[in-house]
Amino acid sequence: MSRTRETPEAMDNTAVPFVTALALYPILEALVSHLRPNDLVNLTTTCQVVNNQIRMREKQVKASLLTKTLCPGTGLQARLKRHCPCRTRGWHSYCGCGGEGYNVTSKPCISCGINTCDECRIHVSYQVYVEDPGLDGHRWWAGYVLNYLFPFAIYPPKGDDGAAWHLQPDMMQSHHDQGRLHLPLYMNGIADAEPISRILDTDLGKNDITPSGRTSRPFEGVYTAVLFKSLLANRKELVCRICFDGMYGAGLSLCSCTLRKRFLDRWTCVPCHLDESKKFDQEHRATRIYSKDGPWIDKIFCRCGDQIVPVGHYEVICRWCNGHVVHVEDDNADANPENVDKQEFTNNEDDEENAGSAPVNLPPDHMAFVNNKDETLSIYVNGSRISGERIGRSIVRDHLSRKGIELPCACCDCSSVACENHHHHQHSDDESEDVNVEASVDGEDVSDHGDDGHNNLEGLDFDDDRIGFDAEMEEDEE
Ligand SMILES: [Zn+2]
Ligand SMILES: [Zn+2]
Ligand SMILES: [Zn+2]
Ligand SMILES: [Zn+2]
Ligand SMILES: [Zn+2]
Ligand SMILES: [Zn+2]
Ligand SMILES: [Zn+2]
């Protein structure tokens, strides 16, 4: 950036001081830092002289100025169009744009170059909400994964660093990309929360993202990591042996991508992230022929046009870094236990003294809902008592409803662009619709676990080759 340093003629200066002042780079820079990109454009289009002075027609000057403007807020707008807020009605929320004075840092987006605040850039997890006091005797936190629709429960990191999560709600700030990810708020399930740092730092050149929490009944750990499946699948290009050998000969590096490197170390505004993921999604789909009867793939093609024949005859290239992905569990991403650093699991935070009376003769895999002495919930299943943060929000809601406690409506009536994919009952004036009818039928506090919890996840993209939400949502735009 060449700086114009000459002092303007005194005569001109008195004639049009504002316009000549703009030619002084430090003044221009200071002015621009108080404008959003649109304001800058308006300023330059309203006055030809100003336009000449600011030199917005010159690509480089324009680009340089846009790295210094206030964040335009487009990332936050895109987020709000995609993230359904309906499950967290009445919670405290943390959200704002640095361009409107919200206290977050801004940096130029690595893709479009426009100065973008931390709230308008892509995060792997956005922690947006806190509920205090919360249901079931503990505080709840929630937020979103990337630009996916459903809110998830998020818990503070284990250990001392959770202190900032327990401040008074109005003193709190967002903890994006931190803490532990639990289940979607609407899901009837039990799971160990998954440390987000582990998700962020998984070496994707060698592993898929798998849960470290328990995944066998009654635990549904699989759903804490399920949203990453299509994202990670779309980044894998399958190439035939011949093409691979050619690439290898030309020098192929190993992929060592992580979500942290990809999404956090690259400061990317949400609109640029959406463009990018749309591109990967299109590239991915262009190599596949889908079955007419469902979301299954019939054929996969290599970049050379040859059909990829299964197992052992292809290699995987990472579309993010063009490196070689060496792991082999491509079709079996839910189970690679060797790579998982197992957590120490506990079933409760409270004292056994607090336990209500344990059910007798409970059949295997059946769950009994029992009130603890402090009125919180325990679930007895296969001889264990499970309570506290492991219990999904929706189970707690249903339990309280059965006890006759009225809760704020959680029907979805937002205008999220992905809402048609959202499995929810329609909002109605009759709030009693919120009560899970099936659950209240067996009212006896003992219910078969069944597969009820899974029904809610039908719309979720956990099949590798189902079309991701990113792509579908983009088509709704413009
Ligand atoms: Zn912003
Ligand atoms: Zn951008
Ligand atoms: Zn890679
Ligand atoms: Zn090929
Ligand atoms: Zn409702
Ligand atoms: Zn909604
Ligand atoms: Zn909806």
User: Of 262, 243, 257, 254, which Cα lies nearest the Cα of 324?
Assistant: 254
Q: Would you state the torsion angle of the CA atoms of residues 82, 84, 85, 87, taken in this order, to the nearest 10 degrees?
A: -160
Ligand of minimum distance to the alpha carbon of 414: 6
pLDDT over 50 at 475, yes or no: no
Q: How far is the CA of 118 from the centre of ligand 1 (A)?
A: 7
Kindly give the distance from the C-alpha atom of residue 159 to the centroid of ligand 6, in angstroms, as a whole number. Answer: 33
Coil, helix or strand at residue 194: strand
Which one is predicted more confidently, 13 or 126? 126
CB 191 within 8 A of CB 224: yes
CA of 427 to the centre of ligand 5 (A): 5
Distance 36 CA to ligand 1 centre (A): 10
Tokens of 299: 């054929």
pLDDT on residue 4: 52
Q: Give distance in angstroms: CA of 311 to centre of ligand 4.
A: 15
- Residue 99 tokens read as 């361009």
Sheet holding 236-240, edge to edge: 236-240, 314-318, 324-325
For residues 355-359, give the mean pLDDT: 88
Q: Which residues surround ligand 4, an ion (CB under 5 A)?
A: 240, 243, 302, 304, 306
Is-cis flag, bond preceding 133, omega within 30? yes
DSSP per-residue string spanning 416-475: -TTGGG---PBP-S-GGGGS-HHHHHTTTTEEE-TTHHHHTTTTS--STTSPPHHHHHHH
- Give the span between the Cα atoms of 119 and 83, in whole angstroms: 13
How far does residue 146's CA lie from ligand 7's centre (Å)? 18
Long-range contacts of 371-378 (CB under 8 A, 24+ apart): 374/137, 374/350, 375/137, 376/136, 376/137, 376/138, 376/350, 377/136, 378/348
Mean pLDDT of the chain: 81
pLDDT of residue 214: 92
Report the pLDDT value the prediction gives residue 71, as an integer from 0 to 100: 96
Contact between 121 and 270 (Cβ < 8 Å):
yes
**Residues with Cβ < 8 Å from 342, sequence gap 6 or more?**
212
Q: How far apart are CA 264 and CA 383, in angstroms?
A: 42
Residue 27's SS3 state is helix
Tell me the average pLDDT across 142-164: 90
User: Of 126, 130, 338, whose CA–CA distance to 227 is shortest?
Assistant: 126
pLDDT of residue 6: 56
Domain residue ranges of the chain, discontinuous segments joined by +: 10-66, 231-341+461-476
Looking up tokens 């035939």 gives: 240
Which ligand lies nearest to the CA atom of residue 99 in the structure?
A: 1
pLDDT at 3: 53
Q: How far is the CA of 63 from the centre of ligand 3 (A)?
A: 29
Among 158-167, 318-327, 453-462, name the one with the lowest average pLDDT.
453-462
Sorting pLDDT into bands at 50, 70 and 90, what band is 434? very low
> What is the arithmetic mean of pLDDT over 234-247?
93
Which pLDDT tens digit goes with each residue over 61-115?
888 889 999 999 999 999 999 999 988 988 999 999 999 999 999 999 999 999 9
pLDDT for 438 equals: 32
In whole angstroms, what is the distance from residue 210 CA to residue 190 CA?
Answer: 17
Per-residue pLDDT tens for 112-142? 999 999 999 999 999 999 999 899 999 999 9
CA 52 – ligand 7 centroid, Å: 49
**In the block, residue with structure tokens 């700086």:** 3
Most confident by average pLDDT, 15-24, 193-202, 280-289, 349-358:
193-202
Which of 162-171, 288-297, 330-339 is predicted least confidently?
Answer: 330-339
Q: Interface pTM (ipTM) of the complex?
A: 0.91
Percent pLDDT > 70 in the chain is 79
> Which protein residues have a CB closer than 5 Å to ligand 5 (ion)?
409, 411, 434
396-408: pLDDT as tens digits: 999 998 889 888 8
Ligand 5 centroid–CA 88 distance in Å is: 12
Taking the CA of 69 as reference, the closest ligand is 1
Is 205's pLDDT higher than 90?
Answer: yes
The residue-averaged pLDDT of 188-193 equals: 94
Task: Find the 391 Cα to ligand 5 centroid distance in Å.
Answer: 22
Which ligand is closest in space to the CA of residue 432?
5
